Chains A and B, each alone.
Chain A
Amino acid sequence: MSSQPSSVLVVDDEPALRKALRTSLIASGFEVEEARDGEEALLTARRHAFDLVLLDINMPGINGIDACRRMRGISPRAGIVMVTVRDSEDDKVRALEAGADDYVTKPFKLRELTARLRAVLRRTRVAEAVQASVLQAGKLKIDLERRLLWRGDEEVHLSPTEFDLLAFMMKHMGAPLTHIKLLRTIWGPEYGGELEYLRSYVRMLRRKIEDDPAKPEFIQTEPWVGYRFRNPSDPDSPPAEDGD
């Protein structure tokens, strides 16, 4: 990673939260700019590019979802993390569909937030770099060109669809992937509602790659949203969601 601190644009209508986030994120090694609402955020983003945008979903004026969509148009390379309030899975799915890279739910611990921000940052940088043909996560190793998967030294045999699904998830390691996105990417654009397909494939994949399929280490369920492939050896990998 470069020594240059990453720049974050914090967009929230609550001044106290903006101030606390600015101080804390600066202390955590980020460079911080603030915006009070969606319009100001878009104006600021036009003036100069940010590495990350932390965008509240619930703001006066243009709402967070619209702001996110327009922000994507202005700075396609910025990592966007949406801040949702209620445990509304609909908000999360809409945020991801509007182009957000991840989301955090208020209230969040600072460490959780910085871990998310760093993970998103790394993912956006990897995406820019030349895509490697061999990816590794813990003891899993996948060869995208030769379509092979190893678990430790042992080769795991996957059906073509299983391989495509796992490969897609591993290429987006750490990112939340909605059901609909997975279905449309792997099965085709006419799919979207067939959650049962996806669930049964995920179940089969877990049986093949997890030590204990009931406590998955790699393929995490994001309740009501979709799945997230977690790299166990990544210190910033988000912890499994506490649905409490």
Chain B
Amino acid sequence: MAGPFGGGAKIMMMTLIREEQVRDSKPRSFVKRLAVGSIAVALLTLVSYHAHIDFPSVIPLYTLLVVLQSLTGDFKSSAVISVLSAGCMDFFFTEPLFSWRIAHPLNALALVAFIVTALVITSLVSQVRKEATSATLQKDRLDRLYRLSQQLLALDPEEARGEKFLEPFHRLFGVTAISLFEADTAELHTAGYSRFDLADKTRAAYLSGDDSGDASRDSGSRVFVRCLRVRGKVTGAIGFEGLEDAAETGGSLTALTTTFIERTNAFRKASVAAAAAQTAVYRSALLDALAHEFKTPLATILAAAGGLREAGPLASAQEEMADTVENEAARLGSLTSRLLRTARLDSEEIKPRMELIDLTSLIGQIASQHSARSPERPIVLTNPHEAVEVQADPALLRLTLNQLVENACKYSKPGSVVTIAIQRGADSVAMKVSNNGSSIPSDEKGRIFERFYRGAEAKRSTSGSGLGLFVARKIALAHGGNLDLETPDGESESITFCLKIPNLKDEAYHVLTAK
């Protein structure tokens, strides 16, 4: 009798595990179990009564029945069956028969002992069963999480993006749909089919940064949304639709997703950085090679032109031409130097080597060089008489000022005046380079400091790399200053660039270099 009952109990236990997960069906199963138990009690009573089994012998049989019932059912139904069994024993097996009264006190004691034992067994068994159920679920959940992380780890970090990344979630957790929003790339990916706008809800959760409200866990639509957080910062959001045990599993899945996305991003950043470093190395090597390739022939021309003059007395026209060759080759040399230097500064972080320099004399030198080169554009200095000392990198500052003065000459009509002014402020010094007779269209003003940007007019009329102002501003910023275009009110036919650098006292300068 115990055999078929035990087998049935095992099957029932498995169904109960499933049934417990689905709470709606619980009351119905309680009634069913209660009915089955009651029928069993009735059968046992009928058989035992007709077989004339006496009261002491019938107690273990009822005990066995209660144990079986508690193995298969919950605590409540088992407790009811225990009381029912005690009633049957009282009515059918204790003297006087067919009465609730108990004649012998020992029989009453035996019945009470039966009820207590039955209840204790029932409660212990149901507790053990509950724990076993939850352990099974836990193990199953851990097992799936483990398999998920294995499958995610197996993905190539380069390709672990979008649907490919979501697919294992979909497969292992049986969700109907899963959405992932990554803030880094602003990409939204969805795997599976969603009936409840999962993608929109996921993105909305990221935007509001709030995943604790009702919207994030909608039991009707079975949507579960969580934000991905790294060190308190929201880096994206993930949403599941049809995830069972969302309360238990959702958190782990979110944590796992965050970790893997961080890993993928770290990998990507590392490869980009490595590629950039490699590019910088190649670029530097290329610039070195270019410097050598350009300057050696120039040195040859200069040596030959110089030698021509030394070799013999030249006619004055010949002498003049040798001079021209020499001067122009030297100029080409310094242009090459500057171009290569600008290209190098473009790709490198600029580290100025500060020295105390006198701006007035530096600007004086630059002005006289340019006057010699392009005498058709007179250069006027304002405030040229007093020394203005600042901490700056002389070579870099010279490069910047040369760029500004050259631009001022290049983009103005012959005969117009180029002005350089020094203005001393409380904690900074401004150098202003202006020209007359030219203007920058207002839609280009915001873009002239961009790398490789060349205005429409500049492209048509002059040569250039589009690097000059970009690098000039970079140098100004590296000095703790700035380079800006000063726009006068109205349509003015002049352009003024203002290069501002901090006028640091020696102490402040020490602090800056110590950093």
Q: Are B300 and A17 in contact (CB under 8 A)?
A: yes
A79-115 residues at the B interface, CB under 8 angstroms: 83, 85-87, 106-111, 113
Residue with the greatest number of chain B CB neighbours at <10 A, chosen from A23, A27, A244: A244
**Which residues B142-168 have CB closer than 8 A to chain A?**
none
Q: Decide if the interface of chain B is mainly helix, strand, loop or mixed.
A: helix
Contact call B337/A87, Cβ cutoff below 8 A: yes
Name which residue of chain B comes closest to A240, CB basis: B365
What distance in Å separates the Cβ of A46 from its nearest Cβ neighbour in chain B?
A: 27
Report if A24 contacts B (CB, 8 A).
Answer: yes
A23 proximity list for chain B (CB < 8 A): 304, 307, 311
The listed residue with most A CB atoms (<10 A of its CB), out of B296, B299, B326, is B299
Residues in chain A near residue B326, CB distance under 8 A:
109-110
Min Cβ gap A227→B in Å is 11
Considering only CB atoms and an 8 Å cut-off, how many residues of chain B contact the other chain? 47
> With the chains together, A24 CA to B325 CA distance in Å?
15
* A interface footprint on B345-371 (CB within 8 Å = 1, 0 otherwise): 000000001011010110000000100
Contact with A along B332-349 (1 / 0, CB 8 A): 011001101100000000
Proximity string of chain B (376-395) to chain A, C-beta cutoff 8 Å, 1 when within and 0 when not: 00000000000101000011
Q: How far is the CA of A14 from the CA of B307 in the complex (A)?
A: 17
Q: Does chain B have a CB within 8 A of A63?
A: no
**Which residues 3-47 of B have a CB within 8 angstroms of A?**
none
B303 contacts which of A21, A196, A214, A244 (Cβ < 8 Å)? A21
A109 surroundings in chain B (CB, below 8 A): 302, 306, 326, 330
From A20, A21, A86, A110, B291 is in contact (CB under 8 Å) with A86
Q: Please, what's the 1-or-0 string for A203-244, where 1 marks a CB less than 8 Å from any CB in chain B?
A: 100000000011100000101100000000000000000111
Q: Within 8 Å CB of B195, what residues of A?
A: none
* Chain B CB within 8 A of A16 CB: yes
Q: Please name all residues of chain A whose beta carbon is closer than 8 Å to the beta carbon of B291 when the two chains form the complex.
A: 85-86
Contact A214 B298 (CB under 8 A): no
* Interfacial chain B residues near A16, Cβ < 8 Å: 297, 300
A111 touches B510 (CB 8 A): no
From the candidates A17, A20, A107, A215, name the one contacting B361 in the complex (CB within 8 A): A215
The 8 Å CB contact of B340, one of A14, A86, A203, is A86
Q: Is the CB of A108 within 8 A of B302?
A: yes
Of the candidates B296, B310, B338, the one whose C-beta lies within 8 Å of that of A17 is: B296
**Residue B329 lies at the interface, judged by CB distance under 8 Å to chain A:** yes
Contact of B402 among A111, A221, A244 (CB under 8 A): A244
On chain A, the residues within 8 Å of B334 by CB distance are 242, 244
Question: Contact: A203 with B356, CB < 8 Å?
Answer: yes
Given contacts A17-B296, A214-B387, A243-B394, contact A110 B358 (CB under 8 A): no
Residue numbers in A under 8 Å from B399 (CB-CB): 243
| Known contacts A27-B311, A221-B394, A223-B394; A214 and B299 CB within 8 A of each other | no
Query: Is A184 an interface residue, CB under 8 A from the partner?
Result: no
Q: Which of B298, B361, B369, B510 contacts A244 (CB 8 A)?
A: B369
**A161 in the interface, Cβ–Cβ < 8 Å?**
no
Given A86-B340, A111-B306, check contact A20 B300 (CB 8 Å).
yes
Other 17 A-B pairs with CB < 8 A, given A23-B311, A106-B333, A214-B358? A14-B296, A14-B300, A16-B297, A20-B304, A28-B310, A85-B291, A86-B340, A107-B298, A107-B329, A109-B302, A110-B307, A110-B310, A111-B306, A199-B355, A214-B389, A215-B361, A243-B399
Residues of A within 8 A of B (CB): 14, 16-17, 20-21, 23-25, 27-28, 58, 83, 85-87, 106-111, 113, 196, 199, 203, 213-215, 221, 223-224, 242-244
For the complex of A and B, list the 3 residue pairs with the smallest distance between their C-beta atoms, beginning with the closest: A110-B306, A24-B307, A27-B310
A sample of 13 cross-chain residue pairs with beta-carbon separation below 8 angstroms, ordered by A number, consists of A23-B311, A24-B304, A27-B311, A83-B299, A85-B295, A85-B296, A86-B287, A106-B296, A109-B306, A214-B387, A242-B369, A243-B399, A244-B398
